[in-house]
Structure 1
Amino acid sequence: MKRLVWPAGVLLLLLALNVVFTPSFLSIQVRDGHLYGSLIDILRFGAPLILVAIGMTLVIATGGIDLSVGSVVAIAGALACLQISLDAGLITAIALALGLCLLLGAWNGLLVAAVGIQPIIATLILMVAGRGLAQLITGGQIITVNDPAYKMIGGGYWLTVPSGIVIVAVVLVVTAFLTRRLALGMLIESVGGNAEASRLAGIRSRGILVMVYAFAALCAGVAGLMISSNVSSADGNNAGLWIELDAILAVVIGGTSLAGGRFSLAGTVLGALIIQTLTTTIYSIGVPPETTLLFKALVVTAVCLVQSRSFREKVFGGRKRAAAPAVPAATDRTERETAGLPGPQDGVRP
């Protein structure tokens, strides 16, 4: 829980800053049976990032990285919209899109686990090739669709709540159950801590690596469907552009180490909400558009520095507790008495 204190504090600070500039920022209204408000918008527009970040969390927990999720987002939206425009049916379009995403994620996992390519290189290949594949699917054009059922994925509502929020909640609950209530989370952390030791202990580390990369691609695919359905179109060039960097930032802000090992799904969600709230804050306080990315980078850097324990100790004057001087081992009775240690006569064996 301690690792969540700083992300939660930063998120509350951003919300408070928005309240200063917009007093009605925290208000939530119900219109035509739907929830509306700035907080709802943050959750709705941040839903794709949260999905991608959840998958990225498990990949980073294994000591890897996935730079291809942005391209997978574009591929999923492009293929789904293409199939819908060809009257293939909604279920078929979604199944084909998510199936292709799973295959692409498994391919990344095989390159890392079986071939032994570094994760950043293996996923960089798909990052470049996948963006080209998305543009190939769309023919270099923006595919527009007019399907009310498909619109429901990212732009619809379910029991007054935006459907994107519901999808994220379901994925988060299922992922938390599989990784925290079952042994899967411990296996993932063990692979991230030491893959070779895990293999020698009988853990199928290669299978786990393929699984987490496939899961990350599946989350990115669902995010791609959500993004494309929200705007009823697919843009192979710009859809999901740089979302992988925001996802990595969300995971790091949430307290998960890039070195692998322990991870925090709750921290990742907080990190994604911080990034989305920061984007909303930039527009609400009137930051000039040409300096938006620079302002965002500076704030994220400040957040990461504040979370660093060593940085806080150096800046705020924290002192490390001095180690107690070690008493040399004494074997002789005289040496023990001089050092003030118990001897054999005190009932303690030397």
Structure 2
Amino acid sequence: MSALFARMVASRLFWPIVMLLVLFAVNLIAFPGFFSITVRDGHLFGSLIDILRNGAPTLIIAVGMTLVIATRGIDLSVGAIAAISGAVACAIILGSPNPGSISTVAVAIAVAILMSLVFGVWNGFLVAVLGIQPIIATLILMTAGRGVAMLITEGQILTVNSPPFKALGSGFWLGLPVATIIAAVLFAFAALITRRTALGMLIESVGINPEASRQAGVRARGLLFTVYTFCAVCAAIAGLILTANTAAADANNTGLFIELDAILAVVIGGTSLAGGRYSLAGTLVGALVIQTLVTTVYTVGIPPIATMVFKAAVVTVVCLLQSPTTNAALASFRRSLAIRAGKGAAAS
């Protein structure tokens, strides 16, 4: 039993799951109906459903961020790309004579995603070809991106009245929020393409040792282009969901600080910022922790302005529990348990 517990503690998912369960317990104490789910008009409603829906944009971006971080990189421009994506979509819908048409919304979404491909290729070019540090390369677009979104919206908040577009953020399909379904499909696609093919191993090899990977025949540049482009597409999809949820494009506030939430989700999930091995399952748990923490702040009556403080506290605790010092202490504890078990068996 002790050996099983030791293996559980050694897992990268153990402490994030514990933190998630602690947050669930706090919410249950503050609000006894926290786990209740009701069905109205064929749709599921409840606190857990709200967490899944509201956490979908963070999870979507965090999936792309995980692959970028696995290559020893980072993408600070995802929030700006999300804002640009929402601004482009709303501008196209407003400029159409039939904003409620599904074809108009489809064109708006397609153009927004195509623009994100350009931004992703740009980030990949700066990192893979010019050799600029990822934090600097993506900081350029992070700074300029909000300005691009402001130019698209002409400094205004673009409000749209398009039911098909609004359904992306607040609609339901088969009883579940559309945003949650989109996040689940994207997560499953990323997991399938990286864990059922050699792509995941190649990404890890580039993150562990780029030079050795190059000498082994791995095309590191192509991989970097791929992960940064995929991350940009994830940011665009998240931006469309955020914009559709409010039915308005706000260049200043759409996706604001979401890059930090995505990075926090990745770190909480156990992926190392030094690159190499990564965990999409851990990222999923990390995104749930982040969104549950936000929900907890509202549930227990803490002022929303203190949310960032509590996020920092949670990340600090999880990182300390996952630190090499803690792992060494746990390893020592496991050895002592093994020694005691051996002595007990010898005595009997």
TM-score (norm 1): 0.88
CA distance in 2, matches of 1:289, 1:58: 31
What residue identity is the alignment partner of 1:107?
Answer: W
1:232 and 2:241 correspond: no
Deviation at 1:62, TM superposition (A): 0.4
1:221 and 2:224 correspond: no
Please show how residues 100-179 of structure 1 align to structure 2 within 5 Å.
100-179=115-194
Q: 1:188 to 1:235 in 2, by over 3 A?
A: same
Deviation at 1:304, TM superposition (A): 1.9
CA distance in 1, matches of 2:18, 2:211: 38
Secondary structure of 1:3's aligned partner: coil
Aligned match of 1:77 in 71, 82, 86?
86
Aligned match of 1:42 in 31, 47, 51?
51
Q: Which position in structure 2 is the counterpart of 1:263?
A: 278
Q: Which position in structure 1 is the counterpart of 2:33?
A: 24
Secondary structure of 1:65's aligned partner: coil
Deviation at 1:318, TM superposition (A): 4.7
Secondary structure of 1:182's aligned partner: coil
Aligned match of 1:205 in 220, 227, 245?
220
Structure 1 residue ranges without an equivalent (≥5)? 323-350
Aligned match of 1:61 in 70, 82, 92?
70
- Listed one character per residue, the Cα deviations across residues 144-189 of structure 1 (whole Å, up to 9, x for unaligned) are 1011111111111000000011101111111111000011111111
Please show how residues 178-189 of structure 1 align to structure 2 within 5 Å.
178-189=193-204
CA distance in 1, matches of 2:129, 2:331: 48
Please show how residues 234-313 of structure 1 align to structure 2 within 5 Å.
234-311=249-326, 313=328
CA distance in 2, matches of 1:26, 1:140: 42
Deviation at 1:321, TM superposition (A): 6.7
CA distance in 1, matches of 2:334, 2:167: 55
Secondary structure of 2:55's aligned partner: helix
Q: 1:202 to 1:165 in 2, by over 3 A?
A: same
What residue identity is the alignment partner of 1:20?
Answer: I
Deviation at 1:286, TM superposition (A): 1.2
Please show how residues 313-332 of structure 1 align to structure 2 within 5 Å.
313=328, 318=332
Secondary structure of 2:74's aligned partner: coil
Deviation at 1:10, TM superposition (A): 0.9
What residue identity is the alignment partner of 2:300?
Answer: I
CA distance in 1, matches of 2:309, 2:55: 20
Aligned match of 2:42 in 33, 50, 54?
33
CA distance in 2, matches of 1:100, 1:317: 49
What residue identity is the alignment partner of 1:245?
Answer: L
- Listed one character per residue, the Cα deviations across residues 242-282 of structure 1 (whole Å, up to 9, x for unaligned) are 10011111001001000111111000010010000000001
- Listed one character per residue, the Cα deviations across residues 102-159 of structure 1 (whole Å, up to 9, x for unaligned) are 1101100010000000000000000000111011111111001011111111111000
Secondary structure of 1:35's aligned partner: strand
1:94 and 2:103 correspond: no
Q: 1:17 to 1:207 in 2, by over 3 A?
A: same
Identity %: 60
What residue identity is the alignment partner of 2:316?
Answer: T
What residue identity is the alignment partner of 2:67?
Answer: L
Structure 2 residue ranges without an equivalent (≥5)? 1-7, 98-103, 337-348
Q: Which position in structure 2 is the counterpart of 1:344?
A: none
CA distance in 1, matches of 2:62, 2:334: 34
Pairs aligned (count): 321
> What is the root-mean-square deviation in Å for CA atoms of aligned residues?
1.7
What residue identity is the alignment partner of 1:82?
Answer: A
Deviation at 1:195, TM superposition (A): 1.1
- Listed one character per residue, the Cα deviations across residues 296-315 of structure 1 (whole Å, up to 9, x for unaligned) are 3223212221222414656x
Q: Which position in structure 2 is the counterpart of 1:340?
A: none
CA distance in 2, matches of 1:320, 1:66: 38
1:8 and 2:23 correspond: no
Which structure's CA Rg is the greater one? 1
CA distance in 1, matches of 2:33, 2:52: 17
CA distance in 2, matches of 1:282, 1:90: 35
